[in-house]
Structure 1
Amino acid sequence: MLLEKKNAVIYGAGGAVGSTIARAFAREGARVFLTGRTQAPLDAVAQAIVAEGFLVETAQVDALDEQAVEQHADNVVREAGSIDIYINAIRVAEPGIYGIPIVNLSLENFALPITAYMRSHFLTTRVAARRMVEKKSGIIITITGMPARAATPGAGGVGVAWAGIEALTRGLAAELGPQGIRAICLRSNAIPETTVIREGYNVRARATGQTPEQIQAAAEATTLLKRLPTLADLANVATFIASDQARAMTATVANLSGGLLAD
């Protein structure tokens, strides 16, 4: 197993991305610690992981609460002995922040995702780094999307926030590398299985007179592979990056664009 004897903390584990990654990590031998703002989705993910015979713990933690984040990390180290893998998969999806031209955004809706994403990632990655330094090993994984780099209409403050997360990841890698800690970002194209993408396709479909299926087909046509990534694709890459097989990788962004972005 790729992640045997590893302890993995996953923020936003109740969502589609976080839960899929959590289950993939567990299958590869990691003991997973799931966190989120709402307990019920975490319990559902935990039940699925337990049903497969793997180890899992849950905790209701607000990733924007500094004290709660610190306390949870202390609890994990006290119980498991270390934090080996840390991944933040939270989603900011309040109405009015995405799909609207920048010139039509209010200051509040433009700033909200920037503030929420950057505060959350600063707090969680700082907590992870401080605990990993003690063991001089570990991997911090962040997640962004295409607007972090590609010119994307309607991305608003979300694209700015994701670009900031990628910059934060590179900074962490530079500072923590000498202490054996890696930092890598996953930048994915749209994943149609997720609620936010399905809702986005529905909105665009109503605005253009097309069907959601036509919107998705057009998006797929822009990629070299002529398909969009799946949740399983993202989880598989996250698992590999979290493993020692990727120990020479840091300060980089894994490109899951299907070839839309050429590195």
Structure 2
Amino acid sequence: MDYANLFRLDGKHALVIGAGSGIGRESALALAAHGARVTCADLNLTAAEETATLDHELAGRMAAYQLNVLDDAAIERSITELEAVDVLVFTAATNVRKRIIDYTIEEFDRVVSLNLRASFQLVRAFGRGMAERGSGSIIGFSSIRGTTVEPGQSVYAATKAGLVQLLRTAAAELGPNGVRANAIAPGVVETPLTAQIKANQAWYDAYAQKGALGRWAQPSELAGAVVYLASDAASFVTGSVLAVDGGWTAVDGRFDPPN
């Protein structure tokens, strides 16, 4: 075993969906830094291009690609337009924070369509080619909300729990063909999706204190988990949920009992 190169991704083509910002952007940069050729896919092509050109040293290994994951035909086209994908990473998600009785069917459909239906389409589309080639790594982003919930998170939480089961099933079905499928479950991360919370200082502080580290994560702190699951360092890891949550799901509140 060549441990010195255990995390290297030379010769691999990684497709990162949601690469225009946040965790997707940092994941794309990290994968490229470890030797992968990275296609930075996003609905916002300008944002994807910014990611692909952000680091001049990595620019030769990164390319931008516009992709609307809500468009089934666009996903099918991407299979033929892009070179064979060895690593699939998808981060795109949305949330509508409302109590169940206040939710509309339109809002339900919007969250489920992006968070779960699009994920299903991506796993099915790119997993097929990986299985035919006999190798591949699929990495989807779940959430602590796939395990723990709070008021106002019903549909988002349901999609994130559903994504875990989707990826576990993909691991079971595609594993005999050499394809691994895993989920990463972040805690609170400073991304555009959490802007509503960041704007409320009391809410922001309460979340910071929920985990063991007493702070929020930066998007870059999720990139290591992506590289790990994409690389040979995780060659026997599949069907797993890797929590990168600062201890949120391990710690029972922040009360420190007296000795």
> Normalising to structure 2: TM-score of the pair?
0.89
1:222 CA drift (Å): 1.6
The corresponding residue for 1:131 is 129
CA offset digits 1:101-140 (Å, max 9, x no partner): 1222222213321122222111111111111012100000
SS class of match (1:183): strand
Q: Distance in 1 between matches of 2:9 and 2:35?
A: 5
Would you say the 8 A contact 2:197–2:203 is kept in 1? no
Alignment of 1:45 onto 2:66: no
SS class of match (2:237): coil
CA offset digits 1:67-125 (Å, max 9, x no partner): 21122122223xxxx311001111325xxx22x21222222213321122222111111
1:53 CA drift (Å): 4.5
Alignment of 1:245 onto 2:233: yes
Q: Distance in 1 between matches of 2:204 and 2:166?
A: 31
The aligned length equals 245
The corresponding residue for 1:208 is none
> Normalising to structure 1: TM-score of the pair?
0.87
CA offset digits 1:208-243 (Å, max 9, x no partner): xxxx2x433322222122233221210111111110
Alignment of 1:172 onto 2:170: yes
The corresponding residue for 2:147 is 149
SS class of match (1:9): strand
Q: Distance in 1 between matches of 2:17 and 2:56?
A: 19
SS class of match (1:48): coil
SS class of match (1:10): strand
Q: Distance in 2 between matches of 1:261 and 1:152?
A: 13
1:51 CA drift (Å): 4.8
1:38 CA drift (Å): 1.8
Structure 1 unaligned blocks of 5 or more: 206-211
Alignment of 1:255 onto 2:243: yes
1:50 CA drift (Å): 4.2
Q: Distance in 2 between matches of 1:52 and 1:13?
A: 15
**1:106-255 superposed matches below 5 A:** 106-192=104-190, 194-202=191-199, 205=200, 212=201, 214-255=202-243
Q: Distance in 1 between matches of 2:52 and 2:38?
A: 9
Q: Which amino acid aligns with 2:167?
A: T
SS class of match (2:54): helix
Structure 2 unaligned blocks of 5 or more: 252-259
RMSD of aligned Cα (Å): 1.7
Q: Distance in 1 between matches of 2:147 and 2:102?
A: 22
Q: Distance in 1 between matches of 2:61 and 2:153?
A: 38
Q: Distance in 2 between matches of 1:63 and 1:49?
A: 26
The corresponding residue for 1:209 is none
Identity of counterpart residues, as a percentage? 26
Name which of 20, 26, 33 aligns with 1:27.
Answer: 33
Would you say the 8 A contact 2:94–2:193 is kept in 1? no
Question: Alpha carbons of 1:46 and 1:53: their partners in 2 closer, same or farther (altered >3 Å)?
Answer: closer
